[in-house]
Structures are given as structure tokens and as C-alpha cells.
Structure 1
Amino acid sequence: MSGVVVALAGELADLIHRVCMPASFTVSEVPLRGGLPWCFLRDGRHWVLHREPESNWAQRLRRSVLSLVMDEDSL
């Protein structure tokens, strides 16, 4: 019985790793080029996105406009 529980726990840990880890990003500013690269690891490879992941142009536009009149903590 405990072998089954250990196997299920291992499978659950693998599933959580595959599902959750790609949603973890490191964001940094590139002074010379501008913009914000969004870096993450997936399947052992390092990836860099140059647009905010999982957002569309309307969401980015809304945040850009709101950032002109609101402080960053309120966004």
C-alpha cells in the first residue's frame, strides 16, 4: 500500500512541476534596448519572451495607460 502512495506522490510532484513551473518568470530591465525580458525554464531549456506572457494587446494597453495616472503598487 505504501508503495502505491509513494508512486502517486511522485506522479503528483511531477505534474505540479510541469504545470506550475512554466508560470514562474524572472523579469529584468535591459537598459540599452529597453523593454522587459520575461525569462523562464521549461523542459530544461532557458526561454526569453519580449512580451508579457499570457496577456493580450488590450490588457497591455490598459496597463500602459493606467500606469500614467496610477502608482505601480495600485496596478
Structure 2
Amino acid sequence: MATESFEVMQTFGLDGSSYKMMVKDRDGNRYFVWYSYGIGINIGDEVLITIDDNRWKTISNPRNGSSSDITQVNLIT
């Protein structure tokens, strides 16, 4: 299991029954991430994502300690 840092590029609020945001990794790859609960994030903030065996598990806001389970991830091509 690994924890990686991502930059929040855009937030979308609720998308169906999950929250949605776009994040960017250190290599510039962008992803849409859906997660269960709001974590009080703003554009430009850092989020920490826990990845286990290529499965994105949790997203955390280190600024306030909030975290949520990740429900879906899509690479933006």
C-alpha cells in the first residue's frame, strides 16, 4: 500500500451519489476521482490518495484530517 500526493485541479460537488474532483499527479497525469463523503477541499489544495495493488482506496485532506473512500477513478486522456 502506498500514499501519493495529488493537486486538486477542479471540484464538481455531488455527481449522482458521490462527490467528484479532478486531480493531477507529479507526472502531470490527470484523473477524475469520485468519493463517498465531502472532505472540505479547494482548488489548488493537496490531497493524499492511498493506493493498494493499483486500486485507489481512500482520499484524504491533510489540511483538516478528513478522508473518504474512493468509489471510482478515470484517467483523463
What TM-score, normalized by structure 2, do the two folds share? Answer: 0.32
Greater RCO, CA 8 A, separation 6+: 2
Q: Which has the higher helix share?
A: 1
What TM-score, normalized by structure 1, do the two folds share? Answer: 0.32
Question: In terms of Rg, which structure is larger?
Answer: 1
Q: Which has the higher strand share?
A: 2
